[in-house]
Amino acid sequence: MTAALANPARVSPIHVAMVAPVQALLIGVVFLPSLYVFWLSFNESSFGKAPSWVGLKNYVAVLSDPYFWRAFGNTAIVINIVVYLELLLGLAIALLFAGGVPMRRVLISIVLAPYAISEVAAVVMWRFMLDPSVGMISQTLASLGLPTIEWAVVPAHGLAVVCALSVWLHLPFTFLILYAARLAIPADLYEAARIDGATPWQQFRYVTLPALVPAILVAVLFRYIFAFRMFSEVWLVTGGGPARSTEVLAVYLYQEAFRYNEFGIAAATGWLMVTGSIVLAIPYLYVVYKRTLAGDA
């Protein structure tokens, strides 16, 4: 495939035909709606009111709204905690499993289990466990003389619960990518390192880590993009409260679109989020490109 891309003459009509359905699907359900939303972001639009062109007014309104910036700040905090905590945990578990653990298949199933649970069910379960008066986590903390996690009334606690829930739900994604990449590292390299007298830390630093960097970049990039649009964890746990203090960008967008029916402002928020995601992704994409595609060509 890489060779075919390197030599356009080898891209035959059959290749085009084979990828055409996917391309058509992407154009139909992503590209064209995106263009419509882009157009909508320059209009004032709601139910019972024809769209009217307002230029950049919606962008100005969003960017001058303190709730947008609060949501942006919360999003930045949550995604950085979630993505890097997941990376550390995913890497640690991947290395532990690759190093050999008893009942590895069972343990892998346990690590992957949260991925099979719907987000709504997971949130209901966590909320029940964290109920301040009757939740088993709260009661355990109380029996140990520790303070309760007041996620419903203390914003910092609410965001911490959202982070913990999100890490728990999405850890399998990061783990799978890193575990597969770790298993792909040839054993010869470790054998050579050991013969050369490398300590376990040196083996990790000079053999494992360089080999895992492409996988780490892919995992981080995808998780950043997914976490940037985080909605259900926040909406179902705190609803953005108390007093809108735990809102993230996707919740802000949802409120504008589906509670206030301000479609122009919601569209502008959507495009600002897309722009933010692209800006966030560019450094990672650049490194990934340099390390993989450019290296292959």
Partner 1 sequence: MKRETKLGRRAVLAGAALALAAPALRAQTQARVNIFAHRVHRTVATGAQGGDITEAWARENNATVEWVTFDTGPLQDRLMREASLADSTVDIGFILNTQATPRIATLFEPLDDLMRQAPIEELGDVFPGMLDGLKVGGRLYGLPFRHASSGMHYNETFFEERGISGPPRTIEDLAEFARRTTWSRNGQPVVGLVLPGVTYPNVIDIARAWDGEFITPDMRVVANEKPMVNAITLLRDLFVAGAFPRSFTAINTEDVNVWMQTGRAAMVVNSMGRNAIYNDPARSQFPGKIKTTTIPISREFSNKFEVAPAKVEFWGMAIPKNAKNKERAWSLMRAMLSKDSTLRAALNGNGPVRNSTYDDARVRAQLPFADDERKVLRVARVPMPAFDNAQRAADFFKEEAEAAVLGMKTPQAAMDDLTRRVRPLLQS
Residues that bind partner 1 (CB under 8 A): 46-49, 127, 131-134, 148, 150-153, 237-239, 241-244, 255, 258-261
Q: Which is nearer to partner 1, 172 or 264 (CB)?
A: 264
Q: Which is nearer to partner 1, 49 or 104 (CB)?
A: 49
Write down the least CB distance from residue 80 to partner 1, Å. Answer: 25
261 closest CA partner among 39, 38, 40, 29: 40
Write down the least CB distance from residue 147 to partner 1, Å. Answer: 12
Q: Which is nearer to partner 1, 148 or 203 (CB)?
A: 148
Write down the least CB distance from residue 259 to partner 1, Å. Answer: 5
Write down the least CB distance from residue 239 to partner 1, Å. Answer: 7
Q: Which is nearer to partner 1, 142 or 288 (CB)?
A: 142
CA distances 261 to 30, 72, 163, 265, Å, are 22, 21, 29, 9
Residues 6 or more apart in contact with residue 77 via CB below 8 angstroms: 159
CA distances 291 to 168, 277, 279, Å, are 30, 21, 19
Write down the least CB distance from residue 12 to partner 1, Å. Answer: 43
Write down the least CB distance from residue 47 to partner 1, Å. Answer: 4
Q: Which is nearer to partner 1, 88 or 124 (CB)?
A: 124
Where do we find the tokens 């100005």?
60
Strand partners, 49: 46
33: left (phi over 0), alpha (psi -120 to 50) or beta: alpha
Classify residue 206 as exposed, middle or buried by CB count within 10 Å of its CB (0-12, 13-18, 19+): middle
Q: Which is nearer to partner 1, 97 or 151 (CB)?
A: 151
Tell me phi and psi for residue 20, to 5 degrees.
-60, -45
Write down the least CB distance from residue 141 to partner 1, Å. Answer: 14
Q: Which is nearer to partner 1, 172 or 240 (CB)?
A: 240
Tell me phi and psi for residue 184, to 5 degrees.
-80, -10
Contact 81, 162 (CB under 8 A): no
Q: Which is nearer to partner 1, 131 or 204 (CB)?
A: 131
Contact 185, 99 (CB under 8 A): no
Residues 6 or more apart in contact with residue 255 via CB below 8 angstroms: 240, 247
Write down the least CB distance from residue 134 to partner 1, Å. Answer: 7
